[in-house]
Amino acid sequence: MNLDLSFYNWDLISNFVLKGLGFSLMLTVVATIGGILLGTVLALMRLSGRKWLDVPATIYVNGMRSIPLVMVILWVFLLAPMLIGRPIGAELSAIVTFVAFEAAYFSEIMRAGIQAIPRGQIFAGQALGMTYGQNMRLVVLPQAFRNMLPVLLTQTIILFQDTSLVYAIGAYDMLKGFEVAGKNFGRPIEAYLAAAAAYFAICYALSWTVKRLHRKIAIIR
């Protein structure tokens, strides 16, 4: 295999790859924020003690966690246009899918974080006259977010890796950028190897950052 690096136009390659990387990062950020918000709602529903809230949330979470992500991506991309009567595009399909799918995983993380808060703090908030909503917003959730931050960030790294699955519906992510560059230069194998190296470098750097953050949080505790 000829790996002559002088063959490549690196400015052209960077344009292809950076365009895809931009979408991958945007999808990761939007899906993380949306997933945490929706996941927190689902977690509170499951912890509410009310069956009419607990049962639907449990079905949603367990159902999503039992289905491969790529299958959900294809379902949204193919079925959503039939339901609303018009196409929504690969990028929007990916955003909707990732927010809905990741919410199930973030929900379990948040539920574990909320349950880890000592019950005495909840009782103290109730003794001060706080409502359930005030107790969660002012006492429980801030501590749960801090305790679960390393786990939330680890899930975000996994989410970034999973963004490569939008390749199945033709969305222009980082993997697609490498593929287009490889096709333009007639070097698909090298392009996929470079894509693997890029994913590894980004995810390793993020994992190292999360590990350092986890140590700092442990010291604060």
What is the domain range of residue 59?
Answer: 9-220
Residues 95 and 197: their CA atoms lie apart, in Å, by 25
DSSP summary character for residue 8? S
In a domain, 146, yes or no: yes
In a domain, 56, yes or no: yes
Phi-psi region of 118 (alpha: psi -120 to 50; beta: other; left: phi over 0): beta
2, pLDDT greater than 80:
no
CATH number at residue 119: 1.10.3720.10
In a domain, 4, yes or no: no
Residues 92 and 86: their CA atoms lie apart, in Å, by 13
Read off the pTM. 0.88
Give the model's pLDDT for residue 1: 45
In a domain, 2, yes or no: no
In a domain, 3, yes or no: no
Residues 121 and 193: their CA atoms lie apart, in Å, by 51
What are 38-89's pLDDT values in tens digits? 999 999 999 988 999 999 999 999 999 999 999 999 999 999 888 888 888 9
Number of folded domains that form the chain: 1
- In this structure, what token pair is assigned to residue 207? 């994992």
In a domain, 1, yes or no: no
